C-alpha cells in the first residue's frame, strides 16, 4: 500500500523559499522507511517498533544537516494511509485549530 504524503502549511511555505529543503525531506523519508526514527527518545523508538506490529501510528523526528533548515516530524497514521510531514510546532497548533489543514503533494487539503 502506498502512503499519501501530506505536507503541513509551514513545510509547504518552506519549500517555496528553500530549494534544499526538499532534499532534506526526501532523505528523512528514506531514513523513516528504514526504521531510523531520528531524534525521538529511546522510549518512543521502542513504541514505534511495537506500533509496526500492532498497527498503531508511527512518528519520527529529523534534524537538518544545515542550520538554515528546520527540524521536521514525520507521522504515519494508524490507518497507514497517510504520511504527514510537518514542523513540531505545527502538531500542537493543528490539534487546537480547525483552520489547520494538511495538504497532499498536489496542494489539495486532505481529511481523514
pTM: 0.78
Who contacts 8 (Cβ-Cβ below 8 Å, separation ≥6)?
84, 85, 86, 87, 90, 94, 100, 102, 103
Query: Can you give the pLDDT of all 112 residues of the chain as single tens digits?
Result: 577 888 999 999 999 998 889 999 999 999 999 999 999 999 999 999 999 998 888 999 999 887 767 889 999 988 888 898 999 888 766 544 444 455 544 555 554 4
- Domain residues of the chain, as ranges? 4-105
Dist. CA 85–CA 89, nearest whole Å = 12
Amino acid at each position: 500500500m502506498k502512503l499519501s504524503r501530506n505536507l503541513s502549511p509551514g513545510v509547504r511555505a518552506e519549500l517555496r523559499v528553500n530549494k534544499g529543503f526538499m532534499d532534506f525531506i526526501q532523505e528523512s523519508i528514506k531514513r523513516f522507511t528504514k526504521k531510523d526514527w531520528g531524534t525521538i527518545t529511546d522510549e518512543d523508538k521502542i513504541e514505534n517498533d511495537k506500533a509496526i506490529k500492532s498497527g498503531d501510528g508511527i512518528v519520527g523526528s529529523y534534524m537538518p544537516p544545515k542550520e538554515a533548515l528546520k527540524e521536521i516530524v514525520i507521522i504515519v497514521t494508524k490507518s497507514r494511509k497517510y504520511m504527514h510531514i510537518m514542523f513540531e510546532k505545527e502538531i500542537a497548533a493543528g490539534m487546537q485549530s480547525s483552520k489547520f489543514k494538511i495538504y497532499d503533494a498536489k496542494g489539495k487539503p486532505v481529511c481523514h
